[in-house]
A = this chain, B = another copy of it.
């Protein structure tokens, strides 16, 4: 069943606890720092529930209709359907919502494509994977994840010797009902707006970190759970015109703090198995399926960015300068190349042993690596194309409310045929995309949301067909050796 926006908004008025500094917030839909983005997500639910978008954004199975991002793909066509849905959702959010509902849905659906793997390992529960996946799609749930330990977790000896509580989230006790969790978990993007959150580990744990291996999917409003938000960007009463993205798309990032939080067994996917808690993403389609969403989302953002770059140069009159035209051509080449890397994941898709279809893994990690390496450069390029233009506009569009200021503004800031207000709207938008707090956080996000650079490159290293690559040169060298008689290659 597909929820509408109103139903979604009500579902997150569930008594959750969010701290913004010392301020406690329980209803993000009504607090100025959160209401803007909540409204955006609600509109997304309406968009998805709209019958006009039925085939694009949902699928039917056994008489029930589910959001497309819960579809387990069995064919190239299924993969294309998922890609199209991701694209529509990303376009709705201009590629700015990293953790839209279709993100974490890829993780759980990917697990559900090889749930028996979890059953085959001690402490894993494929049964719970399947049950939660099915529940989530039925509830049309919006979930997110928090899968990184606090930095201090690296040095457990310290805490033992000092008798201080280890901050890393862990199972501190367990009984028939389930486990009890204490500690903290980083960094739940979107948690302020989500219904539930996957707790787990994306980086390898040490073998003795069994208690930290707990992997579960829990509601945000569990007693004892609190969300500690980083500074919201939409906190002050900025006008939409002056910050058209910040006022709508601040998805928020929260640290999760657990204080004797009780989690029932049916929500637990992994318990007491350090290796499994990480490998589950790699040894199932989970990581790939989830990250295809991030590929598509970034591709949409890239189109937005390239479009802004072009509009900005048109507004400054620089678009016809050869060097600027070449820069735009290069940006367009990057955009096309990135979309090519996504399309290639379909052409060279993989069939899994479980009978499912999966995006090409190597191209997917290549696209992530590309985005990670180039996002800052792209932003910097647009910054250069903008020059100081943004700083030359008044602090706010409210200048229009005072007639004498309005007159001055409209006569002086107009540039040829472009009226002052249109120009200002464009530059405020461009700056909100590349220069604002929201933009700066996005720059860090694009660099790290899959993990640090070495981890991303490690995925590429892991899946590279080194034997094939080596065979090329080795074949040439061997041929030379053979054609010249044993031990006589040097005589050629």
Contact A19 B399 (CB under 8 A): yes
Contact A340 B330 (CB under 8 A): no
Contact B370 A376 (CB under 8 A): no
Residue A477 interfacial (CB < 8 Å): yes
Size class of the A contact interface (CB-based, 8 Å): 35 or more
Interface of A is mostly: helix
Residues of B within 8 A of A231 (CB): 242, 395-396
Number of identical protomers: 4
Residues of B within 8 A of A91 (CB): 472
Most buried by B among A340, A417, A439: A340
Residue A393 interfacial (CB < 8 Å): yes
Q: Report the minimal beta-carbon distance from A203 to chain B, rounded to whole angstroms.
A: 12
Contact stretch, chosen from A179-187, A212-220, A278-286: A179-187
Contact A426 to B473, CB < 8 A, known contacts A332-B464, A337-B366, A344-B342? yes
Most buried by B among A229, A255, A304, A326: A326
- Expressed in whole angstroms, the Cα–Cα distance for A33 and B191 within the complex equals 32
Residue A389 interfacial (CB < 8 Å): yes
Q: Report the minimal beta-carbon distance from A300 to chain B, rounded to whole angstroms.
A: 8
Contact B228 A415 (CB under 8 A): no
Task: Give A10-26 interface residues, CB cut-off 8 Å to B.
Answer: 19-22
Contact A415 to B367, CB < 8 A, known contacts A395-B230, A461-B332? no
Residues of B within 8 A of A393 (CB): 230
Residues of B within 8 A of A365 (CB): 333, 336
Contact A384 to B453, CB < 8 A, known contacts A184-B412, A362-B336, A412-B183? yes
Contact A151 B389 (CB under 8 A): yes
Other 16 A-B pairs with CB < 8 A, given A342-B344, A347-B347: A154-B317, A187-B388, A241-B492, A304-B472, A325-B458, A329-B458, A333-B460, A334-B369, A336-B362, A337-B370, A340-B360, A340-B362, A343-B363, A383-B443, A425-B480, A439-B440
